């Protein structure tokens, strides 16, 4: 797939009716809802029905299941994601009519015009950091606009058009679309090779972040002081009218966290900045969430928000959908769901879950995402999954890719076995709820993990228990 290049933006009021192809997707639904909130006539279609599609319909958006050229209606602008191919009948009709066709990043960028934009990106942690930043600014009364790749647990919404000056967006680096946003503050949580199916090499992936931070409208770059990738980025982007603000556990960090407490379902740390210090107490677990909170704090300071207010507001954040989300109980075991889909994310997730599980077993049900990522990182996934006591591995969720010969979930299962894990490989996803339910014992903590449709496995397994299913 080709990388997305920025296009000139047009104010939202000049776009006319807007039609979204694949409107129910995580990256599209929030933007579509924001357009509706802005008073634009919005329609859209998706290949299958979903909760997101139904929620958009409940908000008055004209949604359709299935694709048909007639569904474009009177649209003057059509918005697509990177997953939409030119063979899509609605896209083909839009091309035939000569309609404006925008990538979703351009549609989001247009919403940001005239606001103080904040663009949050990185290989890991961008969704949570964006959610934290949006909620901090909202709870402090600034009434920000935001678009996040996952709904906030507190409101169930992934977007909002506020009356305030700030507009906070999660910026997707996977396809280069993060270059589209007119942001004055850019935050990079970390940089680690990923999405090489699009970028080609780790060097080109890194160079994308350099290009992002050097854009002329960027005034402040917020970077991790602990991550090797962002440390390498700093000397390439600082200087001129652009300032750099760092966060992390490093002694050199401008926003430094120390005395981390991460042994339970909550997390806390002592935070020190130039003119502020005190405790940050989170209602979500894990060291990585304290780093996300430090990043959100640094972003708030870059926007001129007082530090003490930011620290106090951090405790109100309850997470985002599919980030250590509680699903239910089954056979005396707790079942959670998480979007982690890179080895580093899986390792961080299981590390955070281990003390919460306590003396009980930690059970991981993992679905690899993308054939190329599975091929490139099978060994690393296996090593990360070996942190669990029992592991279930599903076959690959293909997303936007065609199969690669010889690349299946069995590669990850074998790598996990080699790393010492007790592994069950389940090539047919339909069998996974029964298999997972059969493994669980009272007290276990189970996690369904991945960016694909593994999220349906936990609820299905719990439902088996509610129906009185027998698995042994």
Annotated catalytic residue: which of 90, 170, 173, 345?
170
Question: Would you state the structure tokens that stand for residue 373, as one six-digit string?
Answer: 């990522």
Residue of 372, 368, 366 lying closest to 403 (CA atoms): 372
The most distant pair of C-alpha atoms in the chain lies apart, rounded to whole Å, by: 67
φ, ψ for residue 228, nearest 5 deg: -60, -40
Active site residue 123: no
Q: What share of the chain is helix, strand, coil (3-state, %, to 5)?
A: 40, 25, 40
Annotated catalytic residue: which of 77, 93, 126, 230?
126
Annotated catalytic residue: which of 127, 246, 320, 455?
127
Active site residue 170: yes
Query: Would you tell me how many other CB atoms lie within 10 Å of the CB of residue 401?
Result: 18
The edge-to-edge listing of strands for the beta sheet with 267-273 is 159-160, 145-147, 166-170, 116-121, 183-188, 220-224, 243-248, 255-261, 267-273, 276-282
Active site residue 249: no
Residue of 28, 6, 27 lying closest to 18 (CA atoms): 28
Residue 258, strand partner residues? 270
Name the DSSP class of 217.
Answer: T
Burial (CB count within 10 angstroms: exposed 0-12, middle 13-18, buried 19+), residue 295: buried
Residue of 159, 127, 143 lying closest to 56 (CA atoms): 159
Query: Would you tell me how many other CB atoms lie within 10 Å of the CB of residue 101?
Result: 17
Query: Distance (Å, rounded) from C-alpha 198 to C-alpha 438?
Result: 39
Residue numbers annotated as active site: 126-127, 170
């Amino acid at each position: 797939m080709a990388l997305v290049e920025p296009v000139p933006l047009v104010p939202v009021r000049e776009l006319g009716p807007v039609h979204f192809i694949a409107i129910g997707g995580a990256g599209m639904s929030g933007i579509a809802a924001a357009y509706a909130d802005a008073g634009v006539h919005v329609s859209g279609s998706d290949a299958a029905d979903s909760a997101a599609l139904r929620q958009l319909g409940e908000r008055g958006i004209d949604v359709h299941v299935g694709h048909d050229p007639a569904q474009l209606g009177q649209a003057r602008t059509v918005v697509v994601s990177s997953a939409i191919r030119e063979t899509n009948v609605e896209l083909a009709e839009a091309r035939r009519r000569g309609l404006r066709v925008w990538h979703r990043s351009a549609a989001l960028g247009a919403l940001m015009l005239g606001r103080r934009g904040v663009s949050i990106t990185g290989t890991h942690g961008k969704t949570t950091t964006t959610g934290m930043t949006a909620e901090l600014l909202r709870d402090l009364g600034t009434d920000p606009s935001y678009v996040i790749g996952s709904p906030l647990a507190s409101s169930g919404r992934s977007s909002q058009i506020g009356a305030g000056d700030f507009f906070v967006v999660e910026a997707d680096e996977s396809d280069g679309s993060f270059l589209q946003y007119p942001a004055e503050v850019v935050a990079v949580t970390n940089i680690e090779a990923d999405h090489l199916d699009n970028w080609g090499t780790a060097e080109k992936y890194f160079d994308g972040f350099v290009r992002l931070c050097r854009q002329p409208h960027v005034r402040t770059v917020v970077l991790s002081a602990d991550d090797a990738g962002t440390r390498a980025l700093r000397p390439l982007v600082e200087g001129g009218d652009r300032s750099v603000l760092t966060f992390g556990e490093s002694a050199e960090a401008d926003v430094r966290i120390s005395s981390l407490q991460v042994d339970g379902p909550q997390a806390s740390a002592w935070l020190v900045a130039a003119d502020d210090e005190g405790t940050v107490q989170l209602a979500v677990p894990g060291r990585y969430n304290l780093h996300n909170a430090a990043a959100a704090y640094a972003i708030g300071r870059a926007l001129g928000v007082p530090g003490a207010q930011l620290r106090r507001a951090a405790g109100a954040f309850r997470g985002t959908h599919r980030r250590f989300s509680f699903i239910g109980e089954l056979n005396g075991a707790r079942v959670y769901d998480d979007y982690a889909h890179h080895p580093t994310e899986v390792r961080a997730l299981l590390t955070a879950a281990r003390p919460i599980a306590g003396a009980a077993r930690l059970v991981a049900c993992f679905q690899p995402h993308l054939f190329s990522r599975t091929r490139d990182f099978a060994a690393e996934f296996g090593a990360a999954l070996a942190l669990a006591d029992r592991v279930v591995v599903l076959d690959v969720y293909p997303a936007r890719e065609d199969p690669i010969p010889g690349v299946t979930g069995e590669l990850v299962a074998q790598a996990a076995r080699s790393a010492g894990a007790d592994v069950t490989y389940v090539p047919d996803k339909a069998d996974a709820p029964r298999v997972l339910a059969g493994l669980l014992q009272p007290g276990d903590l189970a996690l369904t993990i991945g960016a694909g449709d593994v999220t349906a496995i936990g609820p299905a397994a719990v439902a088996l228990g509610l129906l009185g299913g027998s698995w042994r």
